[in-house]
Amino acid sequence: MASFVTNHQKPYAALSPTLPGRSLAGKSAFVTGAGSGVGSYITRGLAAAGVSRIGILGRNKARIEKAKDAFAKEFPAVAFEAYAADITDDPAIAAVFKAFGTPDILVNNAGYFPDEGPFVEQDLKKWWSGFEINVLGTAIVTQKFLQTLSPGQKAIVLNVSSFAAHMRFPLIGWSGYNGSKLAQARIFENIRFEHTDVRFVNIHPGCLDTDGFTRSGAPAPAGGMTDGKLTGEFFAWAATDEAEFLSGRFVWADWDVDELKAKKEEILEKDLLLTTIDGFTRGW
């Protein structure tokens, strides 16, 4: 299958956080669902790029505290703060941002694969829980975060989306996940026009061997699973000035950043990497 640019499975030199212009020193970040899986790799990627203070959140208090201790051991120069809350709990999330303050970088990673078979057979209450977490929960975290910003304050919101939001091939038994991930991505494409000082980027993190991936029943991609370190480094890169041109767009974490940067003018001129309908001419 042709890709927009070359895909990688492992970390590569051009993604290194030690390259000039890649440092996130002095920045603060907040990552939801950081206690395991994709979120833990993104947290490590941000810490390795020099983020000095990182808030991490998950529902399971023991798990998020344990993750905090592990991160602190690995990155002693970084201040980690753990919060136990459900992203669908509006007052709890407001209280979290009151306690943490406004991070420079918000990563909406917490998500859920709700499907248990073909649409026609599913318990739709269970199916809907994917929308509750992936759409409502992500919206609550984002809204509470945006409400902490002062007028004109710059910020970055990286949204962990999925290939499932836009890929054409048949994904049988994925209707709740696909629908919720597309809705989520579309919401960010829209609210970026209301917050022009905020960079919103939808990012497919790659295919990582996590509890969530196992639950989805997805087969390993032909090219192999994505190394979580690559995902973490890509998210850190997406928060640098180099990636400013991706504001409002949808990218994959396993895409080659040099090739992506080389396509910058094309992406901006043709307004690429947005959700749309194939074959439909843009504009009115």
Ligand X SMILES: NC(=O)c1ccc[n+]([C@@H]2O[C@H](COP(=O)([O-])OP(=O)(O)OC[C@H]3O[C@@H](n4cnc5c(N)ncnc54)[C@H](OP(=O)(O)O)[C@@H]3O)[C@@H](O)[C@H]2O)c1
Q: Which residues are catalytic?
A: 161, 177, 181
243, amino acid identity: A
What residues form DSSP beta bridges with 105? 29, 156
Distance CA 157, CA 163 (A): 18
> How many residues are there in the chain?
284
To ligand X, the closest distance from the beta carbon of 66 in angstroms equals 10
For residue 150, give both structure tokens: 């002062």
Q: Measured at the alpha carbon of residue 171, what is the angle toward residues 203 and 217, in degrees to the nearest 5?
A: 85
To ligand X, the closest distance from the beta carbon of 117 in angstroms equals 18
To ligand X, the closest distance from the beta carbon of 226 in angstroms equals 7
Distance CA 82, CA 67 (A): 8
Q: List residues near ligand X by CB under 6 A.
A: 32-33, 35-39, 58-60, 63, 86-88, 109-112, 133, 137, 160, 162, 204-205, 207-208, 210-213
Burial (CB < 10 A; 0-12, 13-18, 19+), residue 90, is middle
Backbone angles phi, psi at 201, to 5 degrees: -130, 130
To ligand X, the closest distance from the beta carbon of 52 in angstroms equals 23
Distance CA 61, CA 85 (A): 8
To ligand X, the closest distance from the beta carbon of 248 in angstroms equals 19
Based on CB atoms, which residue is closest to ligand X, 50 or 212? 212
Report the run of H or E that residue 246 belongs to, with start and end. none
Based on CB atoms, which residue is closest to ligand X, 33 or 248? 33
Distance CA 49, CA 241 (A): 13
Distance CA 71, CA 58 (A): 15
Based on CB atoms, which residue is closest to ligand X, 88 or 175? 88
Based on CB atoms, which residue is closest to ligand X, 14 or 218? 218
Based on CB atoms, which residue is closest to ligand X, 29 or 110? 110
